Structure 1
Amino acid sequence: MAVDFDLSSRQKRLKSRARDFAESVLRPAAEAADTLPDPQAAFLAMRPVYARAAEAGFTAMFLPREYGGGGASMVDFLIAIEELCAVDPGFPTILLVNGLALMPVLWHGTDEQKQRWIGRAAADTRGEFLAGWVVSERGGTANFDHPNPRAGIQLLAEVDRRTGDRVLNGEKHWPCNAGGWDLRGADLNVCVARTDRTAGGTSALSVVLVERGTPGVTYEVIDKLAHRTCQNVTMTFHGARVGPDDVLAHGDGDLLIHRNFTWSSPIAGIAAVAVARGAYEYALKWSRTYTGGGAVPIIRHQAVGNLLVDIAARIEAGRYLCWKAAHYLDGHPGQGHALGGMSKVFCGDLMQSVVFDCMRIVGVNALDTRFPMAKFYREAAVFPLYDAGNLAMQRRRAWGLMADPAFGPDTFVDGDPLEFTRSMEGYGLERPPGG
């Protein structure tokens, strides 16, 4: 039978190793870092954990073996990420964003660029290498593929006719990892920029590689409600220059954005499942001992028992949807746009209801910051908003694919390939007359 939810012995060892790391290394550092008022200090406090993760191979496990990576499947990566995120979802976001930055190099880079950047990331066993995926802007970028040149991505990368360099001017808001450990920049920032100021988003966007130390780039840390163990910044470009060879996916930046956020979708989805699981594990333990002033633990009461059953079912359903999406991406690289988006949206939304239901079980003590529920509640706010947003790119991408005549209700049940094309873009966007 093709459908099999059993983990292999190797996957069980990976799960155990990731859980041990999360409990013994990540938890104490994350709990301390989360309380620090300075967001950059919180990020820096995780650097020793990142070094340990690099030494253990977690930071490079998703990179291809041919470049020195672990060669893990998407399903394998999800197994490890769930264990880390159940303890703290902010820190694994550093790993996720490294992947978001390096995947475009893997897909569109030259052999030299792949060896240089992917090889360098894979060889880092000391926890020094960081890469940033730089897309979001202060004015919003959900409509990055809009036909109006003044909508969507507005970071300009214009050609200097004399040198052939691309000159960058503008601002990015929210990129993770981009400031680097010292706010002088990540080793590599992969930036989506407008390379044609006269065209719409389906032909005007490209990817620009910005190395650490490039003059004309500044970074300002954003102070966040949650995910405090990773770094987000406002990144400002004032005449920053990159060479002509550092422009990738020229004119195809829109398709790259779709593909990249498809790659990350089940990872973000399983991270949401993990937060829900963390809250559930605590609420279950609480219900087995807390009496609420009664004679027996509250799990003996039907209302609590029924709610715990529903919570557990939602978590199981979310996990298997993410595994299905990851399995599909493993079998059909560069596809799965709708299935990936569904997994992220479904799990991000269900996690919020799970966390709140767990708080209802714990009761008013859930508000006490000495207990973990308050942090789960803060972390839960992140998932519907980040990684292409549940109300923005994720649903719109899935919508566009499902509107295509090639899509059918059995496409994902049967595991059939279905490539995402430009004809599937632009759903939900206002169009000019006749457009």
Structure 2
Amino acid sequence: MAIDFTLSSEQNALRKTAREFAQGILKPIAIKADAEPDPQKAFAMMKPAYMEAHKLGLTFGFIPKEYGGAGISNVDLQIVAEEICAVDPGFGCILLVNGLALLPLVWFGTEEQKKKWLIEATSDQSGEYIAGFNVSESAGTANFDHPSAYPSGLQMTAEHDKGRGEYVLNGSKYWPSSSGGWDLMGANVNMFVVRTDRHKGGKEGLSAILVPRGTPGMRFKAPIDKVGHRTNQNNWIECDNCRVPEENVFAVGDGDLIISKAFTWSGPVAGIAAVGVARSAYEWTMEWAKTYTAAGDKPIINHQVVGYMLGDIATRIEASRYLCWKAAHYLDMYQAEGQAFGAMAKVFSCELLFDTVYKCMQVAGVNSLNKEYPLERYLREAAVLPIYDAGTIGMQRRKIWGVMADPDFDTNAFRDCEPVKFMKSMEGR
């Protein structure tokens, strides 16, 4: 049978490992960190869980085996991410950002850069190594590929000082994750997408650059205090004549493609994170409905309206899960090229999440507002997922539209798992 949703024995073992980690190690730490009012302290509280995840190969498992990673597939990543995000999607985002920061090297870097930076990450014995992905700016990121030259689009610049063999970074980044590191002195490495040519628009003027921890001229302000994803650090970074060796630059003129592909890879992961949160809300609400009587003579699950609502919730969760699996499978087939389809998984699942959690709250009634119960936390996380990771009404939907508007777009390509080549002409609509 060509279509089979049965997990292999290896995938079942992977899910068991991820679930035991999430429930036994991550959960008690995440609950305390979520309640911590200081966002930097909350992030730092996650370090012990991160180090345990490192022992299990979860922090850099997506890196190819030849560079020290496990080389796990996107489908396998779905299995791990759902279990982790069912407990804490903020921690899941910490792991996700390692991929956003380092996988662009796999796709666009030189062999020398891959060996240097990827092996540095995978060979770390401390379990503390963390990477930051820096695209977002205070002016917004949705128009990163704006056709006009500076100052439209991304505004952080990196000027090439050829005489010294360096690039000089100036400007700021706002909202990037993990960039400040565990001590707010910097992640081990930060990958920035910057403007290396002020005279060209986003489709031509952007590049990627790697900035190691301790580089002079890079300053981190206090992390952003957020409603949800409180265990994940979001930063405000300022670079003032921050000098970086020119060998740290890659994808010169193609930084826009890095952004598009990175957020394509993360699309199904963000989608399955939404599935994980929805699943947890559903499981808790189902247990509530089977035990809570609302002063009646039987549990409320016996009322038709409750049964119908929970049935709809379960149906949508299953639909979201399999869309994410299909998108991940497609990305595995085509080296993470599937910009429209990765975005579809993200948009559908994350927007469905908020409605799912709120319907669970309706079943539980006013008790769902009580912080003694988890639904208020799930609601806060549900508010985050549709608008982070390239958003839904911004970059992700623009990718779908851009691909579909191409004259040669095949409307059945996703159904038939046929390749769709992503081109610069599909950006900036």
Matched, 1:304 2:313: no
Letter of the 1:417 partner, please give it. P
Whether the aligned pair in 2 keeps the contact of 1:47 and 1:127 (CA below 8 Å) is no
Alignment of 1:330-345 (within 5 A): 330-345=332-347
Deviation at 1:6, TM superposition (A): 0.8
Alignment of 1:248-327 (within 5 A): 248-327=250-329
Number of residue-to-residue matches in the alignment: 427
Match of 2:39 in 1: 39
Distance 1:370 1:413 in 2: 44
Letter of the 1:69 partner, please give it. G
Whether the aligned pair in 2 keeps the contact of 1:194 and 1:204 (CA below 8 Å) is yes
Matched, 1:7 2:20: no
Alignment of 1:14-25 (within 5 A): 14-25=14-25
Deviation at 1:210, TM superposition (A): 0.6
Matched, 1:69 2:69: yes
Distance 1:164 1:197 in 2: 19
CA deviations 1:303-353 (Å, max 9, x no partner) are 000000000000000000000000000001141110000000000100010
Letter of the 1:172 partner, please give it. K
Distance 2:383 2:359 in 1: 15
Q: Which deviates the most, 249-258 or 404-413?
A: 404-413
Letter of the 2:393 partner, please give it. L
Distance 1:2 1:406 in 2: 28
CA deviations 1:72-107 (Å, max 9, x no partner) are 110001101100000111011111000000011112
Whether the aligned pair in 2 keeps the contact of 1:54 and 1:125 (CA below 8 Å) is no
Deviation at 1:201, TM superposition (A): 0.7
Distance 1:20 1:297 in 2: 31
Whether the aligned pair in 2 keeps the contact of 1:55 and 1:125 (CA below 8 Å) is no
Match of 2:60 in 1: 60
CA deviations 1:381-408 (Å, max 9, x no partner) are 1111111010100000111101112222
Match of 2:166 in 1: 165
Question: What is the DSSP-based 3-state SS (H/G/I as helix, E as strand, rest coil) of the residue aligned with 1:413?
Answer: helix
Q: Which deviates the most, 160-169 or 48-57?
A: 160-169
Distance 2:36 2:390 in 1: 28
Distance 1:302 1:343 in 2: 31
Whether the aligned pair in 1 keeps the contact of 2:98 and 2:130 (CA below 8 Å) is yes
Match of 1:79 in 2: 79
Question: What is the DSSP-based 3-state SS (H/G/I as helix, E as strand, rest coil) of the residue aligned with 1:391?
Answer: coil
Letter of the 2:203 partner, please give it. T
- Root-mean-square deviation (CA), in Å? 1.0
Letter of the 1:380 partner, please give it. A
Deviation at 1:125, TM superposition (A): 4.7
Match of 1:193 in 2: 194
Q: Which runs of 5+ in 1 are unaligned?
A: 428-435
Match of 1:141 in 2: 141
CA deviations 1:134-172 (Å, max 9, x no partner) are 000000010111111221100010122431311111000
Match of 1:155 in 2: 156
Give the fraction of aligned pairs with identical amino acids, expressed as a percent: 55
Deviation at 1:377, TM superposition (A): 0.6
Deviation at 1:126, TM superposition (A): 3.3
Distance 2:79 2:336 in 1: 21
Whether the aligned pair in 1 keeps the contact of 2:110 and 2:250 (CA below 8 Å) is no
Letter of the 1:362 partner, please give it. A
Distance 1:416 1:217 in 2: 44
Deviation at 1:180, TM superposition (A): 0.7
Match of 1:181 in 2: 182
Matched, 1:409 2:411: yes
Q: Which runs of 5+ in 2 are unaligned?
A: none
CA deviations 1:266-305 (Å, max 9, x no partner) are 0011001111111001001100000011110000000000
Whether the aligned pair in 1 keeps the contact of 2:271 and 2:349 (CA below 8 Å) is yes
Distance 1:162 1:408 in 2: 49
CA deviations 1:57-76 (Å, max 9, x no partner) are 11122111111111111000
Matched, 1:115 2:115: yes
When normalised by structure 2's length, the TM-score is 0.98
Whether the aligned pair in 1 keeps the contact of 2:268 and 2:327 (CA below 8 Å) is yes
When normalised by structure 1's length, the TM-score is 0.97
Deviation at 1:110, TM superposition (A): 2.2
Deviation at 1:222, TM superposition (A): 1.1
Match of 1:394 in 2: 396
Whether the aligned pair in 1 keeps the contact of 2:343 and 2:399 (CA below 8 Å) is yes
Letter of the 1:192 partner, please give it. V
